[in-house]
Amino acid sequence: MNDQSTDWKRPGATTLTEAAGLSTGPVSMEPYRSTEFFELERSRIFGRTWLMMGRVEEIASPGDFVVKKVEVCGASVLVTRAKDGRVQVFHNVCSHRGNLVVLDQSGSGSRFVCRYHNWTYGNDGRLIGVPDEATFFNLDKKKCGLTPIATEVWEGWIFINLSRTPEVSLAEYLGNFGEYLKGVDYVAADSPVVFTAELDCNWKVMSDAFSESYHIPAIHQKTIGSTFASRSNPFAHLLNARVFGAHRMCSMFGNSQYESLDSSKVEKLGQNAMETTNVITAVDTSLVANFLDHPAVNPTRTADWSLDINQVFPNTQIDFGQGGFFTHQYWPISVNKTRYESRFYVARPTNAVERFRVEQYIARVCEVILEDTTNVVATQIGLESRGKDFMQLQDNEIMLRHSTYMAEKWVAAETVAEAMA
Ligand code: FES
Ligand SMILES: [Fe+2]
């Protein structure tokens, strides 16, 4: 590795794992392969937690809508912005005979027409038109609007809860994690580059792959190995990690002395065009100054910093890097199938240099994600072989330990209050 960093050591005597109050023993593999456990996750985790549906910028103007799938709960969800600017979310299901009303993934308009028999709804969910209405029997149109889903917006993030009556508000659910992340300046929030893939693995295998840096010097050796590790921190030890109830964060080391190899001519060109030495960013720091100022962004204020992973339980990461923020989401389809969706928010380029940086950044992100996604399937096959029953986790894998602990806790809990106790 071509670095000059001084010796790096995380301050503090205890391990991150012990400081978070977690046990240090081996961790069961059953939550990753048991169909019974998955059925309980369906109802007890995804059926009653607050789930992130996207940002308000996706539906910026009145009439804008997006349709999202929540396969694990069998739901098709219609996220709308009504005339008065309110964000509302409905089950995308027709009151007539249950057809899906909106088949487009996104769009804009003042009404939704179910194509089966043309029942028509306003974008506030009201049923406003029924062809041949007189032939129905005492049809009460007021009671036949789209079914609303509990919706709350926090810091520009739209959340839903698929319980008919959520046991806790979103603010209560996020608790001190919501406070910790309050006021972040989400730059370029209207301009994401989106990656999606369906992968043959449990949703937690996918989440784990983006929750620790121990794997980076190994599996990402040729891409970001030398940016997340250095001679002084060869195993990419974390800068910090904290748990916030069911939620968690970790802060990852970044090699501030990283320099592209002379043989990597394109990367070198990109690096020379940037203020930072980090090739996993697309913008100058001046564009993200307010964002970088926030105490939850690089919370240890370490020069050798790369990323913060902020995981909102169960399946959403809102991650921070030197160039802004990005999200990963892991949507279960079955015990061993997951829809992965990530969004990298980058300011739209205004000149050729900026365009080059963005292209280089996105190309690098693609390479790294492919290294992760081609490996997760092998992990699932290994887990399902039942050749092993327990994982051996080290201190820097604290996020995984907390993830399985929380999944087990929520699955065992009869009520949300019990899960959150
Ligand atoms: S099912 Fe929608 S109009 Fe008939
Ligand atoms: Fe990775």
Mean pLDDT is lowest, of 19-33, 113-127, 259-273, for 259-273
Same domain, 250 and 317: yes
Average pLDDT over residues 209-231: 91
Average pLDDT over residues 365-369: 92
Say yes or no to pLDDT of 364 above 70. Answer: yes
Average pLDDT over residues 365-386: 95
Measure 278 CA to ligand 2 centroid, in angstroms: 17
Q: Is 154 exposed, middle or buried (0-12, 13-18, 19+ CB in 10 A)?
A: middle
**Ligand 1, closest atom to CA 118?**
3
Same domain, 262 and 393: yes
Measure 95 CA to ligand 1 centroid, in angstroms: 7
Letter for the amino acid at 124? D
Same domain, 250 and 147: no
Residue with the larger pLDDT of the pair 70 and 266: 70
* Domain presence at residue 174: no
Give Dmax (Cα) for the chain. Answer: 81
Q: To which residue do tokens 């939704």 refer?
A: 112
Mean pLDDT of the chain: 92
Same domain, 296 and 214: yes
Measure 120 CA to ligand 1 centroid, in angstroms: 9
Same domain, 21 and 142: no
Q: Is the peptide bond before 131 cis (omega within 30 degrees of 0)?
A: no
For residue 264, name the pLDDT band (cuts at 50, 70, 90).
confident
The string over 299-319, giving b where at least 16 C-beta atoms fall within 10 Å of a residue's C-beta and e elsewhere, is beebebbbbbbbbbbbbbbbb
Q: State what percent of residues in the chain have pLDDT above 90.
A: 80
Say yes or no to pLDDT of 275 above 90. Answer: no
Whether 230 contacts 9, CB under 8 Å: no
Task: Ligand 1 pocket test: pick from 78, 94, 127 the residue with the most ligand atoms within 8 Å of its Cβ.
Answer: 94
* Domain presence at residue 291: yes
**Ligand 1, closest atom to CA 98?**
1
* Domain presence at residue 360: yes
pLDDT of residue 7: 56
Please enumerate in sequence order all residues whose Cβ is within 8 A of that of 197, keeping only pairs 6 or more positions apart, or say none.
339, 340, 373
Pocket of ligand 1 (CB under 6 A): 94, 96-97, 99, 114, 116-117, 119
Same domain, 111 and 236: no
**Ligand 1, closest atom to CA 97?**
1
Say yes or no to pLDDT of 354 above 90. Answer: no
Q: To which residue do tokens 């996220």 refer?
A: 79
Question: From residue 249, how far is each of 65, 158, 244, 286 by CA, in Å?
Answer: 31, 20, 8, 25
**Ligand 1, closest atom to CA 117?**
3
Residue nearest to atom 3 of ligand 1 (CA): 117
pLDDT tens-digit map of 317-352: 999 998 899 999 999 999 999 999 999 998 888 888
Please enumerate in sequence order all residues whose Cβ is within 8 A of that of 304, keeping only pairs 6 or more positions apart, or say none.
5, 8, 230, 233, 239, 253, 254, 255, 256
* Domain presence at residue 269: yes
Rounded CA-CA distance 154/172 in Å is 12
* Domain presence at residue 2: no
Same domain, 160 and 53: yes
Say yes or no to pLDDT of 125 above 60. Answer: yes
Least distant ligand from the CA of 121: 1
Measure 63 CA to ligand 1 centroid, in angstroms: 21
Same domain, 95 and 225: no
pLDDT of residue 1: 40
Average pLDDT over residues 248-265: 83
Q: How far apart are the first and last CA of the chain?
A: 46
Point out the domain boundary residue: 103, 134, 166: 166
**Looking at the 3D structure of the chain, how many domains does it have?**
2
Mean pLDDT is lowest, of 174-188, 344-358, 372-386, for 344-358
Residue with the larger pLDDT of the pair 228 and 78: 78
Of the candidates 92, 54, 55, the residue with the CA atom closest to the CA atom of residue 73: 92
* Domain presence at residue 103: yes
Say yes or no to pLDDT of 6 above 50. Answer: no
Say yes or no to pLDDT of 257 above 90. Answer: no
Residue with the larger pLDDT of the pair 263 and 120: 120
CATH number, domain at 196?
Answer: 3.90.380.10
Residue with the larger pLDDT of the pair 22 and 272: 22
CATH number, domain at 100?
Answer: 2.102.10.10
Question: From residue 203, how far is each of 52, 59, 78, 386 by CA, in Å?
Answer: 15, 27, 23, 18
Same domain, 30 and 54: no
* Domain presence at residue 105: yes
Residue nearest to atom 4 of ligand 1 (CA): 117
Q: E strand or H helix at 324, and its extent?
A: strand 324-334
Say yes or no to pLDDT of 5 above 50. Answer: no
Whether 7 contacts 177, CB under 8 Å: no
Whether 292 contacts 285, CB under 8 Å: yes
Neighbour tally for 335: CB within 10 Å: 22
pLDDT of residue 407: 98
Task: Ligand 1 pocket test: pick from 76, 95, 100, 114 the residue with the most ligand atoms within 8 Å of its Cβ.
Answer: 114
**Ligand 1, closest atom to CA 114?**
2
Measure 74 CA to ligand 1 centroid, in angstroms: 19
Least distant ligand from the CA of 93: 1
Range of the domain at 264: 16-36+188-420
Q: State what percent of residues in the chain have pLDDT above 70.
A: 94
Same domain, 103 and 152: yes
**Ligand 1, closest atom to CA 99?**
1
For residue 2, name the pLDDT band (cuts at 50, 70, 90).
very low
pLDDT of residue 262: 73
Question: From residue 5, how far is each of 164, 169, 315 by CA, in Å?
Answer: 54, 46, 35
Same domain, 306 and 196: yes
Measure 130 CA to ligand 1 centroid, in angstroms: 9
Measure 416 CA to ligand 1 centroid, in angstroms: 36
Point out the domain boundary residue: 116, 133, 166: 166
The beta strands (E) that lie in 286-323 are given as 305-312, 316-321
pLDDT of residue 189: 95
* Domain presence at residue 210: yes
Say yes or no to pLDDT of 273 above 70. Answer: no
Q: E strand or H helix at 196, and its extent?
A: strand 192-199
Same domain, 89 and 22: no
Residue with the larger pLDDT of the pair 188 and 6: 188
